[in-house]
Amino acid sequence: MIFDTHAHYDDARFDEDRDAVIASLKENDVRHFVDVASDLPSIEKVERIVEKYPESYGALGIHPSELDGVSEKDLKEIEEKIRNNKRIVAVGEIGLDYYWEENPPHDVQKKFFRYQLEMARRLKKPVIIHSREAAQDTFEIMKEMRAEEIGGVVHCYSYSKEMAKEYVKMGFYIGIGGVVTFKNSKKLKEIAAEIPLERIVLETDCPYLAPSPHRGERNYSGFLPLVAAEIAELRGVTIDEVCNTTYQNALRLYNV
């Protein structure tokens, strides 16, 4: 059984064939996915997805690159939506993204990150962390905010092995997807081989980051067996063990 802990089936790239793609997931043993919001328009789209597809759960939050025009009132509304919908299982994706030079400014990103961590604490929901080229600031804010009491996943993990171990110590899960199958991702392969399997969850981030040999194509949860196979190979265990353990991890992560 496979649990895709991070998908964006609300994305326009699934508008043509969303029903067919989601219906096909069971052919690859994918039982559940969490559809993750990123900007304000995606909030309602995620709500529609969880209403329509029984195998789905949702996460609501604002991505650090999508903060333009987002007000405190918007965040209060998101908090109420999460409180009133049992199928929304996490706050996300939230975090810091310094890839685009000061856009939005770092202090704005940090303010929203702290606010949404606090929101997750109030809601007693785990967080889905997006962090790109902001390793130190992300870690410092999570320490400062005592994120170990909130829990969650560092999605599409892209930092050092040492930091992965710190997040594991904090009780966080490490989200691993298609990138681990790429030839040049030596660091991530080491992490996938070495951190406890009980702390790894599978994710697509679809439509992005399809695994080899589909790199560059539209990604979907049906490609996750390729990610599981790579992790199994790196660890010297069976694909079944990777799928079943990470499936149980995902149930624990999202309290479902």
Write down the least CB distance from residue 63 to Zn ion, Å. 7
Q: 61: burial class by Cβ within 10 Å (0-12, 13-18, 19+)?
A: buried
User: Between 66 and 232, whose beta carbon lies closer to Zn ion?
Assistant: 66
Describe the strand order of the beta sheet including 200-202 as a list of residue ranges: 2-7, 30-36, 56-60, 88-97, 127-132, 152-154, 173-176, 200-202
Taking CB under 5 A as the binding criterion, the range among 20-28, 94-102, 157-165, 199-207 that sits at the site for Zn ion is 199-207
Kindly state whether residue 66 participates in binding Zn ion, applying the rule CB under 5 A: no
Return d(Cα 206, Cα 100) in angstroms, integer. Answer: 21
Q: Which residue is nearest to Zn ion (CB)?
A: 205
Write down the least CB distance from residue 46 to Zn ion, Å. 12
Residue 132 DSSP SS3: strand
User: Between 47 and 205, whose beta carbon lies closer to Zn ion?
Assistant: 205
How many residues bind Zn ion, per CB under 5 A?
Answer: 1
Write down the least CB distance from residue 175 to Zn ion, Å. 9
Amino acid at site 109: Q
Which residues, 6+ apart, have CB-to-CB distance to 133 below 8 Å? 97, 98, 99
Q: Which residue has the tokens 């996490």?
A: 90
Taking CB under 5 A as the binding criterion, the range among 76-84, 104-112, 131-139, 197-205 that sits at the site for Zn ion is 197-205
Phi, psi of 94 (to 5 degrees): -130, 160
Taking CB under 5 A as the binding criterion, the range among 21-29, 70-78, 198-206, 218-226 that sits at the site for Zn ion is 198-206
Answer for which of 116, 205, 206, 207 binds Zn ion (CB under 5 A) is: 205
Region at 49 (left for phi over 0; alpha for psi -120 to 50; beta for the rest): alpha
Write down the least CB distance from residue 173 to Zn ion, Å. 15
Write down the least CB distance from residue 238 to Zn ion, Å. 28
Binding site for Zn ion (CB under 5 A): 205
